[in-house]
Structure 1
Amino acid sequence: MFLAQRLLMGAVLVAGVLVLNFLLIRLAPGDPAQVLAGQMGGATPELLARIRADYGLDQPLAGQLATYLGNVLRGDLGTSYFFDRPVAELIAARIGPTILLVVTAQLGAILLGVVMGVLAARRPHGLLSGAVTVLATVGYATPVFWTGIMLIILFASILPVFPVEGMADASYDGNPLAYALDVAHHLVLPAATLGIIFLAQYARLARASMIDVLGTDYIRTARAKGVRQRRVVFHHALRNAILPILTVAGLQFGNLISGALLVETVFNWPGMGR
């Protein structure tokens, strides 16, 4: 019953977003037929009428909405007025680089954040713990586009070790391994820019969660039995402490995608943001 309710709420939310998206586009200033006619070289009444008929713009608003929702249910997202190509085709051409950027940034932020948080939790009042807290505060408060610009200045101007735009060099010679390494080289700065703000959150959360778990009875029991400190931390405590981090990571995935759009603009990454 709970799952059915959640699925129903999700379906209602998606339907609401679709309707709102449709109305925003239709109520925005401008006429799509005029835009398309301008690209074709002239806006005669006959051409405008034909374009409106081809795109269904001559129908009442309710009829256009019904057609739009029906097409979406069949997987047809319509045709772009600007590119005059299927929207699904445009998304398919751009979604791969965005997924690569988002997944790389998410995994890197989780792994580094957990490691930093665990090391800081072992000595809650030590220098490393304080450094993690400062890093988390600064990283969370820094705008992602500013971080990208600073990384470009540092690693492209002062220390020119990473490329700053695009996904790969134009001089691709057909070697798949060389291409993969080139993409990874281009991916370093965008993924670091996107991951830093989430790395800060995961590091703070990992530190707090580990401190709580390390103070529980079963951890004290394991230590009393003579279990080595490293096994206590990484085998017994981390398995429970990582659960809140994974939960937050799932909730933050939408924010990660929205941040990726800004990062793609800064680094000219050929994803959805472009």
Structure 2
Amino acid sequence: MHGFARIGRTLRRTAFQAVPTILGIVVLNFFLLQLAPGDAADVLAGEAGSATEETMAALRQHLGLDQPVLTQLVTYLTRLAHWDLGFSSRFGMPVSELIAERIAGTLQLMIAALLIAITLGLLLGSVMASWAGQLPDRVLSVLSQLMYSIPNFWIGLMLIVLFSVKLGWLPSGGAETIGAENAGLAGIVDRLRHMVLPVTSLALFYIAIYARLTRAAMLEVRSLDFVRTAVAKGLTPLRVTTHHVLRNALMPVTTMAGMHIGGVLGGAVVVETVYSWPGMGRLAFEAVMGRDTTVLLGILLLSAILVILANLAVDLLQLWLDPRIGDR
């Protein structure tokens, strides 16, 4: 019962904090986007080649851009209250449908990149901690420093040059091969081949962070009394590492993983643009270029919700790792 009570408190606390947080994010993003030069009418007129002042005025009136900023904000919040994200003038469809088409691609990249980053980060960090100060630790430390320092867009371009242009092993962009048989197992394999390079570009930076964090956390935990007690009881080094050291070292790693959800979403903008991946990141880039603030607001709102949900999942995971957290 105590476990369910702790989970209930965590859920209530998150829900209580989420509503004002999301509202604040929506209002702040709305006003920040108003500071950007130009609007959707300017972009549409530029793409058309020319437009008269009367045409521009009529277009702004049609898009609701002629209203005062506060009026536009109230109108947008009213639509949100009715679960309406608005209509995209650039893409010619409701924002909710537009995001629904793209969110699956971004979630696939994010989940795959984070799982790979956490798994390899924990593995490499454990190796570095086990051979602290020795050759494996030094080599992996240098390698992780390189992965941390190199921008993911440059890594993405170099991966394309190596594996697509030079070796021809993997596709250079897109989510699937156009005109190929994409049903059944062949479709899954084709999708996975297209995911390899963007997921790798997105994960390398975080592998370095989790490896170094795991190393530091494990070295700190190993110096604690309960670990020395476990060793004195005659437990094998593997059992001590997996059941005592690594379990407690997961706390800072999971905390950092929750904080990185927003960073992964931001990195997806670059990676999806480099690899022409049909996801929310590329959609956000296209919306910025088209000054489509309605789409951008929808993407930012959904991103905020995803970050909150991810942090809730991290809180529940940490509650499982250390039940004492729920009593604080």
TM-score by length of 2: 0.74
Residue 86 in 1 paired to residue 89 in 2?
no
- How far the C-alpha of 1:260 sits from its partner, in A, is 1.1
Higher RCO (Cα < 8 Å, 6 or more apart): 2
Selected match of 1:262 from 249, 264, 270:
270
Mapped partners of 2:47, 2:128: distance in 1: 59
The letter for the 2-side match of 1:68 is Y
- 1:121-169 Cα shifts (integer Å, max 9, x gaps): 1121111111221122111111110111121122123332221111111
State the shift of 1:239 in Å: 0.9
Higher mean C-alpha deviation, range 193-202 or range 74-83: 74-83
Determine whether 1:127 maps to 2:135. Answer: yes
Amino acid at match of 1:226: G
C-alpha distance in structure 2 between counterparts of 1:39 and 1:145, whole Å? 28
**Cα gap change, 1:197 to 1:37, in 2 (>3 Å):** closer
Rounded to whole Å, the distance in 2 between the matches of 1:249 and 1:201 is 10
Q: 1:177 to 1:67 in 2, by over 3 A?
A: same
In structure 2, stretches of 5+ residues that fail to align are: 1-8, 283-328
Report which stretch shifted further, 232-241 or 60-69: 60-69
Partner AA of 2:115 in structure 1: L
Equivalent pair of 1:34/1:43 in contact (CA under 8 Å): no
Report the alpha carbon displacement of residue 174 of structure 1 after superposing the two structures with TM.
Answer: 4.7
- Counterpart residue type for residue 253 of structure 1: I
Tell me which residue corresponds to 1:104.
112
Within the candidate set 164, 169, 185, 1:161 is matched to 169
Answering whether residue 58 of structure 2 is matched by residue 63 of structure 1, we say: no
Deviation at 1:27, TM superposition (A): 5.0
Tell me if structure 2 keeps the 8 A contact 1:209–1:241. Answer: yes
Query: Which residue pairs with 1:141 in the alignment?
Result: 149
1:24-83 Cα offsets, whole Å, 9 max, x none, are: 444544454565578789957886666555443454432222111111222211111212
Indicate the residue corresponding to 1:235 in structure 2. 243
- CA distance 1:104–1:56, change in 2 (3 Å): same
Preserved CA contact (<8 Å) 1:132 1:204: no
Indicate the structure (1 or 2) with the bigger Cα radius of gyration.
Answer: 1
Change in Cα spacing, 1:17 to 1:127, as seen in structure 2 (3 Å) is same
Q: Which residue of the other structure, out of 83, 95, 102, is the alignment partner of 2:103?
A: 95
1:273 aligned to 2:281?
yes
Task: Indicate how the Cα distance of structure 1 residues 113 and 52 shifts in structure 2: closer, same or farther if over 3 A, else same.
Answer: same
Aligned partners of 2:34, 2:220: CA distance in 1, in Å? 52
CA deviation digits over 1:152-205, x for unaligned, max 9? 122123332221111111133252221111111111111111000000000000
Instruction: Give, in whole Å, the separation in 1 of the partners of 2:222 and 2:124.
Output: 16
Work out whether residues 78 and 87 of structure 1, in 8 Å CA contact, stay in contact via their aligned partners in 2: yes
Question: d(CA) in 2 for partners of 1:150 and 1:39?
Answer: 33
Return 5+ residue gaps in structure 1 as ranges: none
Task: Report what 2:304 is aligned to.
Answer: none
Contact 2:117–2:207 (Cα < 8 Å) also in 1: yes
Which string of whole-angstrom CA distances, capped at 9 and with x for unpartnered residues, describes residues 219-268 of structure 1?
22222222111111112211111111011000111001101110111111
Q: Which amino acid aligns with 1:198?
A: Y
Equivalent pair of 2:182/2:188 in contact (CA under 8 Å): no
Confirm or deny that 1:171 pairs with 2:179.
yes
> Does structure 1 retain, via aligned residues, the 8 Å contact 2:113–2:203?
yes
Confirm or deny that 1:213 pairs with 2:236: no
Q: Give me the whole-angstrom Cα distance separating, in 1, the residues matched to 2:36 and 2:134.
A: 56
Count of residue pairs the alignment pairs up: 274
Instruction: Kindly report the root-mean-square deviation, in angstroms, between the aligned alpha carbons of the 2 structures.
Output: 2.7
Aligned-partner residue type, residue 249 of structure 2: A
Q: Distance in 1 between matches of 2:193 and 2:68?
A: 51
**Alpha-carbon deviation of 1:19?**
2.7
Question: Map of 1:246-257 to 2, 5 A cutoff?
Answer: 246-257=254-265
Aligned counterparts of 1:149 and 1:88: Cα–Cα separation in 2: 32
The code of the aligned residue for 2:107 comes to I
Mapped partners of 1:50, 1:15: distance in 2: 31
Equivalent-residue separation in structure 2 for 1:273 and 1:2 (angstroms) = 30
